[in-house]
């Protein structure tokens, strides 16, 4: 929660204590109404602050997940590039040896070259697809590309959630400020605006949690 919201809440607590103190020194019925209203507003602030804590926690978690998925995706693409370069070199070497083998080469050497080309072909095929490696996840270029794209999708999902939680947190914080202003100014309409913002914040939290791509914010 931001320092500004903390400051406003502190001011509200001070105001409520001051009003209660004034009531104890001889306030009338009007003072009772004000005290009762302030207590309700204080309860509203506490409830919104609770939702704010949830949205900020979810937002930080989503942001951390997005960073982790991005790092994993980058690592997989780097591995993909390394495997692809090795595969390309192997294929080029095989093609070059195939050209030399078609010339006037002694039979024993030609047989050795054919065996080497076969090995390189198998190696190139393994670089392209190796589904049994890494515990069944695969470490060929085909599997690495698929895994990297999956991590990118997870990253995009986490970022979409993060943006919704950020909007929700902003709505909750503004709602707390408006509710606090009710205590200070006595303008009850600010409380209704605060409730509306709280509902908006809850809606964005739910969207981020259940359907992060339903609304595209950024």
Give CA–CA dist 178/215, Å, rounded: 26
Residue 5, pLDDT above cutoff 60: no
pTM > 0.75: yes
Helices 189-210, 141-185: crossing angle, 10 deg rounding: 170
Q: Give the burial class of 208: count Cβ atoms within 10 A of its Cβ; 0-12 exposed, 13-18 middle, 19 or more buried.
A: buried
* Tens-place pLDDT, residues 148-173: 999 999 999 999 999 999 999 999 99
Give CA–CA dist 183/120, Å, rounded: 79
């Amino acid at each position: 929660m931001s320092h500004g919201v903390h400051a406003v809440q502190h001011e509200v607590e001070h105001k409520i204590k001051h009003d209660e103190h004034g009531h104890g020194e001889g306030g009338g019925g009007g003072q009772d109404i004000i005290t009762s209203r302030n207590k309700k507003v204080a309860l509203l602030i506490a409830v919104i602050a609770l939702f704010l804590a949830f949205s900020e926690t979810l937002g930080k978690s989503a942001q951390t997940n997005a960073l982790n998925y991005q790092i994993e995706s980058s690592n997989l693409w780097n591995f993909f590039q390394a495997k692809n370069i090795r595969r390309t070199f192997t294929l080029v070497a095989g093609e070059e040896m195939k050209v030399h083998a078609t010339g006037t080469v002694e039979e024993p050497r030609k047989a050795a070259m054919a065996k080497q080309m076969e090995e390189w072909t198998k190696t190139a095929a393994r670089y392209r697809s190796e589904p049994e490696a890494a515990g069944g996840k695969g470490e060929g270029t085909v599997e690495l590309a698929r895994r990297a794209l999956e991590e990118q999708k997870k990253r995009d999902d986490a970022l979409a959630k993060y943006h919704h939680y950020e909007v929700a947190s902003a709505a909750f914080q503004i709602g707390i400020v408006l509710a606090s202003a009710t205590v200070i100014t006595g303008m009850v309409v600010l409380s209704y605006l605060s409730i509306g913002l709280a509902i908006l914040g809850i809606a964005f939290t739910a969207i981020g949690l259940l359907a992060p791509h339903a609304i595209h914010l950024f």
